[in-house]
Amino acid sequence: MAKQRQSLSGKVVAITGGARGIGKATATALVRKGCRVAIGDLDLALAEGTAGELGGGTVALELDVTNRGSFAAFLDAAKRELGPLDVVINNAGIMPVTPFGEEPDDSVKRQLDINVYGVIVGTQLAAERLRQRERGHIINVASAAGKAPVPGIATYSGTKHAVVGFSEAVRGELRGTGVEVSCVMPVTVNTALTEGVGDTLGVKKVEPEDVAAEIVDALEVPRFDVFVPSYLKYTLAIGSILPRRARETIARLMGTDKIMTDVSKEARRAYEERAAREDIAGGGEGQGAPAETSPEREAA
């Protein structure tokens, strides 16, 4: 029997990295559904501007996902401003684009801090609050790179594999508590994060609004796997049963093995320089910027 679609009207939602990109698109879609939304971002001024654009009582709050105290304060403030939380969306993340052998240690550590630790802490704090109410939903934004290898973003791919595996395990632990867990896995998304990254025969960029629409759908009809585009689940399923050599040959023929190695450094330069400043939020998935590396970096 098909699950009944749930109304989101009146739900209180907290979104990390919500000032721009996927976070902003998701907040927009949820406000239109009647949700009360708190967007957290390292760049408070930008978050305040976004909240003002969205209206609907949206609030902007400062957040550093790498700091447990900051994260707890963000969720507590969201509750204080809007009411008890119903949904927490762990969206903040960074994606340096650089050959693995050239990646500086600080870039590796920052990806682990934001992409992995930030999601784990956010999930822990959200689960603690939602279990008390015996209902709620945690959305962790990972990536298609968390299901398939992507040369050129090896560390990022590893962090997103971690998010997928972590989310799977947490879902098992929370079964029967009334708290749902979903993991969002988009291909490359058309945000500042992927400037200089082209399309290939096998991978076409999707829009932030496409990701937002799938997140909304997963909240209305709960499910764990949220692929964007939705047909990606079939592509990955077919690929998983093929021998490794066949998978790698297909990837080469479709150009997917080069999507993050044949990037335009010049097109990414402005974003990379902006993202290297730690006092502002990074691109599509928000949060802070990685420390200086070579002129490339971050995505979904």
Residue 250's pLDDT band, with cuts at 50, 70 and 90, is low
**Residue pointed to by tokens 């998010």:** 163
User: Which residue, among 281, 276, 279, 280, has the nearest Cα to 291 in the 3D structure?
Assistant: 276
- Dist CA 294 CA 31 (whole Å): 38
User: What does the pLDDT read at residue 242?
Assistant: 72
User: In which order are the strands placed within the sheet that holds 136-141?
Assistant: 59-62, 36-41, 12-16, 87-90, 136-141, 179-186, 225-228
Segment 38-50 shows an average pLDDT of 96
User: What does the pLDDT read at residue 299?
Assistant: 36
Q: In degrees rounded to 5, what are phi and psi of residue 71?
A: -65, -45
User: What does the pLDDT read at residue 89?
Assistant: 98
- Dist CA 265 CA 255 (whole Å): 18
Cβ(122)–Cβ(16) below 8 Å: yes
User: What does the pLDDT read at residue 264?
Assistant: 64
- CA pseudo-torsion sign 237, 242, 247, 250: negative
User: Which residue, among 17, 58, 16, has the nearest Cα to 35 in the 3D structure?
Assistant: 58
Residue 241's pLDDT band, with cuts at 50, 70 and 90, is confident
- Dist CA 182 CA 130 (whole Å): 14
Helix, strand, or coil here: 180?
strand
Residue 181's pLDDT band, with cuts at 50, 70 and 90, is very high
Q: Where are the beta strands (DSSP E) in 36-165?
A: 36-41, 59-62, 87-90, 136-141
The single-letter DSSP state of residue 89 is E
CATH architecture for segment(s) 12-230+237-275: 3-Layer(aba) Sandwich (3.40)
Structure-block tokens of residue 37: 């939304």
Cβ(168)–Cβ(224) below 8 Å: yes
The catalytic residue positions are: 156
More confidently predicted of 118 and 264: 118
